Structure 1
Amino acid sequence: MTSSPTIGVLALQGAFREHKRLLQSLGAQVSEVRLPQQLEGLSGLILPGGESTTIGNLMVEYGLIQAIRDFHAAGGAIFGTCAGMILLARTIHGTPPQFGVQPSLNLMDITVQRNAFGRQVDSFRTSLDVAGFKTPFPAVFIRAPVIEAVSPSVEVLAEHQGQIVLARSGTLLAGSFHPELTGDARIHELFLTMSHRTEQAH
């Protein structure tokens, strides 16, 4: 990799600071994104964990839904973790009625079930076998969703107890867990590689 791509981290709510620190430790240029114009010049964007309905409603309020769709259509790579994975999905199950309609980017052809592993108290750590990794990845699950179904265009990268928890489709990457909380940078390195390729394609 001759130079690091510039990565944005959606900074409306949730674990965006942890993503930023891990990316910076890899030598990436990182910027916080709160407004559509802050997507300019980026090669990749991370949608962090947090509360997906809150993040989605703020994305609507700040005009980010269409802006992020346009960013992806122009070649930008996107990585959604936990709540971010929900925001990427075409189909979302399990949104409580009192939350109303879950805003979504509707970009990745996956079906996601919210809070599939239970409540905050049911959070856990486990070792995942990830496609292409020589050793297991130490994954942290916090009120995590799962991918219930994928289209043929989606590559499954990891499963936990038979449920899909990491997948890739073109320049989209989605994970149920929080790789930014582990100190293991391999999934972020994978995303940097995806972002670098989109940068070269421009």
Structure 2
Amino acid sequence: MSKIGVLAVQGAFAEHEAVLRGLGAQPVELRERKDLEGIEGLVLPGGESTVQGKLLTELGMMEPLKAAVSSGLPVLATCAGLILLARRLENDPAVWFGTLPVAVRRNAYGRQLGSFTATAPFKGLGNVEMIFIRAPVVVSTGPGVETLAEVEGRIAAVAFGNQIGLAFHPELGRDSRIHALFLERVREAGQRLRL
């Protein structure tokens, strides 16, 4: 049973935990540095990226997690999580993990269009329902970044090595295939974080 750390300092983490449990994984809530011990994968949920980034730093989790992701720890990042991973933010000087070579625009669909649902092809999975909530968008990608999905000509999902970044919320729908894909990568990586 894969032990998956789910960042639980702020945001929509409970829904990710429910999907992971349903797939036979063991989610562990990451609230302080000691919670990182032994995790085999990481989920960075939606929420408020600035708050999450500051809390990760204050709680002493940012540096060990950044080092682990850079060393190959599999990560699934949704919405705010994508912003945390991005190497550059188009409309914000902050950089948090900076491990995913993409540029991201926060709140790319504007506050008026706050939330919407789309169905679009996801590489290797076929059509997937995508729930966007004040979503970011990937505006450019660096070498080695694979586009997994586009919605209305905008990049909605990317992969780079061990990292999967999504602008939408797969945990809010009924389709668990993206989480299953992530867990497959966790099993293949066979890594365990040691502090």
Inter-partner Cα distance in structure 1 for 2:16 and 2:76: 11
**In structure 2, what is the equivalent of residue 152 of structure 1?**
143
Q: Are the aligned partners of 1:39 and 1:71 in contact in 2 as well (CA < 8 Å)?
A: no
RMSD across aligned C-alpha pairs, in angstroms?
Answer: 1.7
**In structure 2, what is the equivalent of residue 6 of structure 1?**
3
Q: Secondary structure at the match of 1:112?
A: strand
Alignment of 1:1-202 (within 5 A): 4-95=1-92, 101-119=93-111, 122-134=114-126, 136-199=127-190
* Structure 2 unmatched runs, 5+: none
Report the number of matched residues.
193
Q: Secondary structure at the match of 2:138?
A: strand
Q: Secondary structure at the match of 1:129?
A: strand
After superposition, the Cα gap between the structure-2 partners of 1:104 and 1:28, relative to the gap in structure 1 and judged at 3 Å, is same
* Structure 1 unmatched runs, 5+: 96-100
TM-score (norm 2): 0.94
Residue type at the aligned position of 2:3 = T
Q: Are the aligned partners of 1:53 and 1:103 in contact in 2 as well (CA < 8 Å)?
A: no
- Higher helix proportion: 1
Task: Give the C-alpha shift of residue 120 in structure 1.
Answer: 6.7
Q: CA-to-partner distance for each residue in 1:116-146, whole Å, 9 max, x for gaps?
A: 0112753001102101113x11110000000
Q: Are the aligned partners of 1:7 and 1:45 in contact in 2 as well (CA < 8 Å)?
A: yes
Q: Are the aligned partners of 1:120 and 1:142 in contact in 2 as well (CA < 8 Å)?
A: no
Q: Secondary structure at the match of 1:41?
A: coil
Inter-partner Cα distance in structure 1 for 2:73 and 2:32: 16
Q: Are the aligned partners of 2:89 and 2:95 in contact in 1 as well (CA < 8 Å)?
A: no
Q: Are the aligned partners of 2:118 and 2:129 in contact in 1 as well (CA < 8 Å)?
A: yes
Stretches (4+) displaced over 2 A: none
After superposition, the Cα gap between the structure-2 partners of 1:201 and 1:170, relative to the gap in structure 1 and judged at 3 Å, is farther
Residue type at the aligned position of 2:29 = E
Q: Are the aligned partners of 2:49 and 2:84 in contact in 1 as well (CA < 8 Å)?
A: yes
TM-score (norm 1): 0.90
Task: Give the C-alpha shift of residue 72 in structure 1.
Answer: 1.8
